[in-house]
């Protein structure tokens, strides 16, 4: 289980004059600080898939980076099972599989070598790493390119390798930041099937997406963030009860933040 309560994170603005006009109008800008996340709370139970929605710049990625221990929050709590992520980040990292949209592969290494490296970072034995790579390669259809240098990979190959690298250590929770962005239909389907398989194994998954069809296909729970605030947190049925049209339901959750 993952529980996030009243999470907040601000960043110092080094040169306010360089801010865009849109940033200057953002209500999260207060003096020389930009409050990327102001108050975010959500929960994802064992075997659930939580879809994290929100406009660009809403604070989704910052929230996921705090959950992954890449950023330390200014306030709030993150609990994974019985582990306090904020106060026990090293222990928490062993429980987390995190795919960031900004983390690249080591181009001179093959796909297999990229995954092996992360397995070693997680203190896995070589035999366990190799067995796990074979298992993930079957799931993500990676065998045809696994031993090629990753600098020549397509977008889909890179994303599959990044996902495999994130879950090679069999984490207790998986966090995916827009895992299907830029993928073709077949590669996206493979990733969706992989998330569905994690769900059947009882592994909680939080993933951000802009594709509402993925939400209906995968998610049990929906959280919406707008301007750094949780504006909706509930079941898929509660979300669709706002409107049978998912785009309209999403827009209604944003309007809540403006009232």
DSSP string, 178-205: STTTT--HHHHHHHHHHHHHHHHTT--E
In the predicted model, is pLDDT for residue 259 greater than 60?
A: no
Angle at 235 between CA 205 and CA 39, to 5 degrees: 75
In the predicted model, is pLDDT for residue 256 greater than 70?
A: no
Structural domains in the chain plus CATH codes: 2-95+172-256 (3.40.50.300), 105-169 (no CATH)
Distances (CA, A) of 188 to 191, 195, 214, 222: 5, 11, 10, 20
Average predicted confidence (pLDDT) for the chain? 91
Residue 78: Cβ within 10 Å count: 22
The pLDDT value given to residue 75: 96
Q: Is the pTM of this model over 0.85?
A: yes
In the predicted model, is pLDDT for residue 15 greater than 90?
A: no
- Could you give the percent of the chain with pLDDT greater than 90? 74
The pLDDT value given to residue 120: 95
Question: For tokens 């990044």, what's the residue?
Answer: 162
d(CA 178, CA 95): 20
Q: Which tens digits make up the pLDDT trace of 50-107? A: 999 999 889 999 999 999 999 999 999 999 998 999 999 999 998 999 988 766 899 9
């Amino acid at each position: 289980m993952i529980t996030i309560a009243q999470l907040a994170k601000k960043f110092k603005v080094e040169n306010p004059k360089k801010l865009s006009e849109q940033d200057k109008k953002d209500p999260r800008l207060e003096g020389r600080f930009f409050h990327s996340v102001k108050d975010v709370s959500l929960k994802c139970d064992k075997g659930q898939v939580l879809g994290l929605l929100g406009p660009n710049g809403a604070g989704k990625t910052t929230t996921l980076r705090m959950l992954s221990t890449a950023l330390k929050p200014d306030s709030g709590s993150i609990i994974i099972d019985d582990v306090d992520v904020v106060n026990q980040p090293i222990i928490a990292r062993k429980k987390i599989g995190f795919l960031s949209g900004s983390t690249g592969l080591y181009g001179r290494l093959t796909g297999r070598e990229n995954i092996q490296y992360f397995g070693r970072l997680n203190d896995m034995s070589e035999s366990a790493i190799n067995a796990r790579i074979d298992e993930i390669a079957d799931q993500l259809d990676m065998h045809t390119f696994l031993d090629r240098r990753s600098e020549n990979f397509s977008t889909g190959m890179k994303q599959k390798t990044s996902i495999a690298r994130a879950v090679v250590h069999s984490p207790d929770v998986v966090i995916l930041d827009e895992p299907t962005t830029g993928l073709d239909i077949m590669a996206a389907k493979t990733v969706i099937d992989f998330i569905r398989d994690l769900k059947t194994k009882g592994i909680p998954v939080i993933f951000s997406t802009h594709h509402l069809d993925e939400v209906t296909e995968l998610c049990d729970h929906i959280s919406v963030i707008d301007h750094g605030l949780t504006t909706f947190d509930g079941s898929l049925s509660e979300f669709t009860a706002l409107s049978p049209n998912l785009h309209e339901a999403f827009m209604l959750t944003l309007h809540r933040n403006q009232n």
